[in-house]
Structure 1
Amino acid sequence: MSEKYWVPAIERTNLVIGLIAKEPGKHRLIDLSKALNINKSTMFSLLNTLETLGWIVKDHGDTYTLGPTLGGYSAAYFRKFNLLELFYKEASKSVKVIDETIQMGTLHGTNIVYLAKEENDSRVRLMSDPGMQFPAHATAIGKIQLTQFSYEEFQNLYANKQLDQSTPFTVKDKEELWHQIEAAKKVGYICEEQEAALGFYCVSAPIYNHENKLIYGISFTMMENSWKTKKQKAIEEIIDLASRLSKHAGYVS
């Protein structure tokens, strides 16, 4: 975006809220000031304004957490996703078939934002809860949503960005990532093996809306032993689930 139309105060506010959301109850004014390289007087004004508006709340120890105003905005945001209710209904059926956890997420820049999760009965719990973000290139649910882009759009999206390594198996090269995306476009799904977290394997498929636009990704996640025996069945089931949810969203193949 042109600097002519950039508002630095809003950018600073976004940085403050982002850090508080990531690490609630951890940072005081001085901590936020140092972490974000914003002088204390400016930070004081920002925090005071945000607290007055209810965007943040000061806890014991003078640390900050997100406030009720943002909670209301969040609820309003998620209300527009009527598909969430359908996700839980349909995903529960697929969980019974595969007995593994299913997640749904949406692409935000080069990150995936998790929106919903339907868990199986396993004692193993995924750390990725609704609202959390993770690099798209390191997840099947993120990679499948990158299939909506042309090569030029993909290059622009990742211009001047490195592919951070979540594990030793995370894709390192942008061209290799693009080849994976191209392959996924042809088959309608993508697999990811220990790229997001060691020991975990995923398969993801895309959800489309009535405009034939890719809007979400859904994925099965499981441990290695399950992956060896359930991979093919999980691929078939996640594709079927994505198809069912796409039809609910008005998609016509």
Structure 2
Amino acid sequence: MDKKYWVPALDKANDILLAISGQPSKLKLIDLSKQLGINKSSMFSLLNTMEQLEWVVRDAEGTYSLGSRLGFIGNSFFKQFSLIERFRKEASITKHKIQETIQLARLERHEVLYLAKEEMPSPVRLASEPGMKLPAHVTALGKALLADLETSVIESLFPEESLQPCPTPHTLKNRSDLITQLELSREHGVAFDLQEAVMGFCCVAAPVRDTQGQVIAAISCSMFQHEWEQKRELAQREICALAARLSHSSV
């Protein structure tokens, strides 16, 4: 493991959380100090900070247990798998209506991370697979996800006016053009990739929102360009409907 940019304090905090999780309401400051080899002064500072962040709770007897903030984070972690399960169920129906493959992804900084795929048989298989990442600006999924962000955030994710990579002649090359497209996506609730990621393929995507209205993922449908001319309206309608169903069930 490369520790060039390692943060020792976070490493120690991780060890403390693991120790407390193994023996909740059993360990006091002195116990944690001895068990982990961290001096009492440093342990006090770490525990005090973690208590303020609600990562840990100090009980009446001076022992520690995990805090509510970790419960919230853990719940969010498992929600993504629940979303994948719901996606598979719902998308398995939608894909037969459109007769095209449907994908689910989330945003990780300036990239999209593919989470799941419901695939229709085709002579040409989409290269994107769960676990893969692609630049957000070249995909409909990425645009649907980026459209929820403030312009200042977009500028921080893409600090240069020139966008890279540009895999096809149709790929957006400038950040200003991307921002313009994102404004349209925000207004209409859909995003498009018209041969921008792969020549000969077009795609429509829509965002999935949680109960607070925050975008947590996006779904898309890709197809050959010649099919796009025939199925564009159908694909857009079905993808938006699927996104709405997944959003309504996101709890």
Label 1:108 to 1:161 Cα distance change in 2 as closer, same or farther (>3 A). farther
Label 1:9 to 1:161 Cα distance change in 2 as closer, same or farther (>3 A). farther
Match of 1:8 among 4, 9, 13: 4
Amino acid at match of 2:145: Q
Give the structure 1 partner of residue 241 of structure 2: 240
Aligned equivalents of 1:169, 1:158: Cα separation in 2:
19
Aligned equivalents of 2:78, 2:183: Cα separation in 1:
31
Give the structure 2 partner of residue 31 of structure 1: none
Aligned pairs, number: 180
Label 1:225 to 1:78 Cα distance change in 2 as closer, same or farther (>3 A). farther
Label 1:10 to 1:162 Cα distance change in 2 as closer, same or farther (>3 A). farther
1:139 has 2:135 as partner: no
1:72-107 CA-to-partner distances (Å, cap 9, x unmatched) read xxxxx6774211011000001110100001000000
Aligned equivalents of 1:105, 1:167: Cα separation in 2:
22
Amino acid at match of 2:94: S
1:124-145 CA-to-partner distances (Å, cap 9, x unmatched) read 2100000000000000000110
Label 1:80 to 1:221 Cα distance change in 2 as closer, same or farther (>3 A). closer
Shift of residue 162, structure 1, vs aligned partner = 4.2
Give the structure 1 partner of residue 192 of structure 2: 191
Label 1:205 to 1:79 Cα distance change in 2 as closer, same or farther (>3 A). closer
Aligned equivalents of 2:148, 2:89: Cα separation in 1:
26
Amino acid at match of 1:144: A
Q: Classify the secondary structure of the residue corresponding to 1:120.
A: coil
Aligned equivalents of 1:149, 1:227: Cα separation in 2:
28
Give the structure 1 partner of residue 158 of structure 2: 158
Label 1:138 to 1:78 Cα distance change in 2 as closer, same or farther (>3 A). farther
1:118-166 CA-to-partner distances (Å, cap 9, x unmatched) read 0112222100000000000000000110011111121122114741201
Amino acid at match of 1:143: K
1:102 has 2:102 as partner: yes
**TM-score of the pair, normalised by structure 2:** 0.68
Percent of residue pairs bearing the same amino acid type: 39
**TM-score of the pair, normalised by structure 1:** 0.68
Label 1:194 to 1:80 Cα distance change in 2 as closer, same or farther (>3 A). closer
Deviates more, 1:162-171 or 1:176-185: 162-171
8 Å Cα contact 2:190-2:205 kept in structure 1? yes
Q: Classify the secondary structure of the residue corresponding to 2:204.
A: strand
Matched ranges for 1:37-76 at <5 A: none
Structure 2: stretches of 5+ with no match in the other structure: 8-76
